[in-house]
Amino acid sequence: MALKATIFRAELQIADMDRNYYQDHSLTLARHPSETDERMMVRLLAFALNAGEMLSFGNGLSTDDEPDLWQKDLTGAIELWIEVGLPDEKSVRRACGRAAQVCIYSYGGQRARLWWEQAGGKLDRAANLTVIDVPVESSQAMARLARRNMRLQCTIQDGQVLLTDGQDVAQFEPFFLKAPRISRGA
C-alpha cells in the first residue's frame, strides 16, 4: 500500500517591505512521504518570497513535469517556475525554456555547494535563472517551525527574512549563487 501525503495547514502573514506586498494567506501543503519538514518549509519560504495572486503550489515531487511552485498568467503561460532542492541540470534547462523566470532554492549545506559546483558551469548561460542557497542553519531553524497547523509571520526587509510562529524564529539572508540577467518586472 502506498503511503499518502501528510497535510499541513499554514496561516501565513507576509509583510514584504521590499516589494510593498502585505497579505495573509491560508495555505494547504501536502508533504510527500519522502519529503522532510526542512524541504517543506523551504517551499513555504519560496512562497513567501515570491507571493502574489497567481502563485500556486505545483504537484512537486509526485510529478516530474511540474515545479514546486509556479505562477502562470491568464493565458496559461508560465511566468515563474520555482524548484526547491538540487534539481538535475537537464530539468533546469527545460524549465528555463518553458518559463519567463526560473528560481531554484537550494539547501543542504555542503551537498548544495557540491551540486552547484557540478551544475553551475552548465547553467550559467541561462539568463532567466536565479539560484538562491538557503544556509543549513536557516533551513533547519525553519524545519523546527513545522507543525500540522501553523500560524506564521514572515517579514522581509532589505533582503533579510524573518519567519516566526510567535515563539521561535528563523532568519534567512538570501545567498545568490546565480542572479538573473533579466528582470521579472515589478
Q: Which residues contact 49 (CB under 8 A, 6 or more apart)?
A: 16, 156, 161, 174
Cβ–Cβ under 8 Å, residues 175 and 109: no
Higher-confidence residue of 122 and 184: namely 122
Which tens digits make up the pLDDT trace of 99-119?
999 999 999 999 999 999 999
* pLDDT at residue 181, as a whole number: 75
Alpha-carbon gap, residue 109 to 92, rounded angstroms: 20
Question: 1 falls in which pLDDT band (50, 70, 90)?
Answer: low
Question: 4 falls in which pLDDT band (50, 70, 90)?
Answer: confident
% of the chain exceeding 70 in pLDDT: 94
Question: 180 falls in which pLDDT band (50, 70, 90)?
Answer: confident
- Report the pLDDT averaged over residues 26-51: 96
- Report the pLDDT averaged over residues 11-32: 97
Alpha-carbon gap, residue 138 to 32, rounded angstroms: 22
Given a cut of 70, is residue 61 above it in pLDDT?
no
Q: So what CATH class is 18-169?
A: alpha beta
Please name the amino acid found at residue 44. Answer: L
Average pLDDT, the chain: 93
Q: Is the alpha carbon torsion for 40, 46, 51, 57 positive or negative?
A: negative
**pTM beyond cutoff 0.85:** yes
- Report the pLDDT averaged over residues 52-56: 95
- Report the pLDDT averaged over residues 115-130: 95
* pLDDT at residue 186, as a whole number: 43
- Report the pLDDT averaged over residues 28-35: 93
Lowest mean pLDDT among 3-12, 33-42, 78-87, 177-186: 177-186
* pLDDT at residue 127, as a whole number: 95
